[in-house]
Amino acid sequence: MFDLGSRPDASGHFGEYGGKYVSETLMAALDDLNKAWQKLRKDPEFLNEFDNDLNFYVGRPSPLYHAKRLSEKIGGAQILLKREDLNHTGAHKINNTVGQALLARYLGKNRVIAETGAGQHGVASATVAARLGMQCVVYMGEVDIHRQAINVYRMRLLGAQVRSVTSGSATLKDALNEAMRDWVSNVDSTYYIIGTVAGPHPYPQLVRDFNSVIGREARRQVQTQFGRLPDALVACVGGGSNAIGLFHPFVDDTEVPMYGVEAAGRGLESGQHAAPLTTGRVGVLHGNKSYLMDDDNGQILHTHSVSAGLDYPGVGPEHSWLKDSGRAEYVAIDDKEALDAFHLLTRTEGILPALESSHAVAYACKLAASMPADKLVLVNLSGRGDKDVHTVAELEGIQL
Amino acid sequence: MSQQYRLKSCFQMLAEQQRTALIPFITAGDPLADASVDIMHALVDAGADVIELGIPFSDPMADGPVIQLASERAIERGVSLHTVLQDVHNFRQNNQKTPVILMGYLNPLYRMGFAQFAQSAAAAGVDGVLIVDSPPEESVVLESLLAEAGISMIRLVAPTTTAERMRLIAAEATGFIYYVALKGITGAGSGANSDAESGQRINTMRKLTGLPVAAGFGIKDAESAADWAQLADAVVIGSALVTRLAECKSSEQACETVKSFLAPIRIAMDNVT
Ligand SMILES: Cc1ncc(COP(=O)(O)O)c(C=O)c1O
């Protein structure tokens, strides 16, 4: 069922990218995880259970929605939205956590940990932990705790412990560091649910496998509803899981261009952004080799994006490979463009997108405007915007 | 090249004297940007056999709060891989004997370029490099460039390392083996107690490589140092020292702190038979 293509190779590399750049203490745990995953990804019983959870717990398949009023307003290609915002807990993140929770159970671990930026992955992890009766600790940067207060409370309601991370820039990258430290210290009892296609092998592969349900469904749906493949795919890229989830099943459809949208923050020239693929260079962070943002001394830079989920200086290694190979193109949308798209989609279609997803919507609108009306632009609407209502209000000077 | 010779002769001499090596760790550039060389000399005066010098990194995933904060402070003071190499170079003006090991994370080396790093490190007088997030599988290029420059890439073994991996790590290891004394990060509060299983792993690595084995992570005072000195050929003390140095306001104060902190540890280790 999963695409059993050759990437990554047996050592976890996508070309030169990926790998296992971690401390020795974790190597055995990663080997165990890898062995388990290479077996389970072909195990019909496991895949069947995963499918059942996706259908009856997550609520899949998610619709492919033709945003007619938005398309009309833009006056170009037809914009199709893959509605991951309609999943249980409100984003694509649950596809991955449902899968990894099954994996944790298979490995006999009863404690799960996660890092989170926007809080969506934290909520999705706390959710599956509650469902399977597992202990759950979520690491979250202090800055993000403030801007995603609703999600913090949701996680606590679900029984998770949310631990504030104050080191470094107190955002997603620092939460990931802290989760790694927890994992090193509790490696026997604990399963680490990484929330995106980054981290050491086999995480980039297994998170992709779990999220590729997005692209498989979308490919089927667009053929059923429109009788053909789309003319472009668009998805936002933080660590890159919703984008890989959409792209992966289309990789061999070379006539379908794929666009990954990074956060240009306050503008690429300002340096205050989170666009490693657009502006960065290759380095090593969080267990893998990939594009990243660092200074000339190799220190990782603080990033900025209005959306917490894109506020990350690295990116999954498969995206670096897709970029170099030319199969995918990476572009950037700034805070203001994303906010405009947030309002536009809300007003034209009655759909409140997550600020992360708003970056994809913004680029899709630009792209669609340059294309004729008989073309199809398929956008991954990775999550809903309820969590961002406070942020948007604050930016617009409105007291709630 | 004299470098590998320096580590070798250091451990040879210790073996002849039946002493365990004391390897203090400091973060370069903490507590002051320009005191590291003085502190390194003070470490030697206080009985250090090898010095581990931490290269500050913004995202030290394997380190506890003490070394994290020391790294953050050092980076703020403008410390970088370049200044760390300069420190080693300056230290070598007055000390040709004590091996210096750089400890850190891969990205700063990657950014400098592995070839340039190997060359500059050799020129500065670095003897070994320990990169926490670069296991042997990912280190082929760096390790061979370092070897050409006469520098050892120090390999780690953890309590979780399998027998199969121990053989992989042992193959082509040089300098010494670093045994991570606890499942956790540096400076873990509870500290590390030596145990029979660790003893076995240390012995296995000694047999497989013929190299000395150092124990580090969580060793924090005379008692725990003496405890690990019974099993290992060298004992690394990091966070406990970095904590004390962090409070120092001047180079003199830092050097005094080094002396008073290491003296009882040195004595306790030398009393282990
Ligand atoms: C709705 C939504 N979209 C996208 C992202 C970005 O992550 P990724 O690039 O892994 O899809 C997040 C992360 O929190 C998110 O919550």
Q: Which domains are assigned to chain B?
A: 3-267 (3.20.20.70)
- Please tell me which residue in A290, A358, A382, A387 is annotated as part of the active site: A382
* Nearest in space to A315 (alpha carbons), one of A328, B246, A252, A188: A328
Cis peptide before B31 (omega within 30 of 0): yes
ipTM value, please give it: 0.96
Q: A102-134 b/e with 16+ CB inside 10 Å = b?
A: bbbbbeebebbbbbbbbbbbbbbbbbbbeeeeb
Instruction: Please report the atom of ligand 1 found closest to the CA of residue A85.
Output: 1
3-state SS of A158-196 is: CCCEEEEECCCCCCHHHHHHHHHHHHHHCCCCEEEECCC
What is the side-by-side strand order in the sheet with A161-165?
A: A161-165, A135-141, A111-116, A190-193
Task: Closest CB to B185: pick one of A22, A185, A298.
Answer: A185
- Give residue B87's identity as a one-letter amino acid code: D
- Which residues in chain B are closer than 8 Å to A21, comparing Cβ atoms? 106, 133-135, 138
- Which of A82, A84, A94, A120 should be mutated for ligand 1, with most atoms under 8 A from CB? A120
What token pair was written down for B272? 């282990």
Tens-binned pLDDT, residue by residue, of chain A (400 aa): 455 457 999 999 999 999 999 999 999 999 999 999 999 999 999 999 999 999 999 999 999 999 999 999 999 999 999 999 999 999 999 999 999 999 999 999 999 999 999 899 999 999 999 999 999 999 999 999 987 888 999 999 999 999 999 998 898 999 999 999 999 999 999 999 999 999 999 999 999 999 999 999 999 999 999 999 999 999 999 999 999 999 999 999 999 999 999 999 999 999 999 999 999 999 999 999 999 999 999 999 999 999 999 999 999 999 999 999 999 999 999 999 999 999 999 999 999 999 999 999 999 999 999 999 999 999 999 999 999 999 999 999 998 8
Q: Which of A302, A285, A21 is nearest to B107 (CA)?
A: A285
Distance (Å) from the alpha carbon of B181 to chain A's nearest alpha carbon: 10
Chain A residues with CB-CB distance to B82 below 8 A:
297
pTM score, whole prediction: 0.96
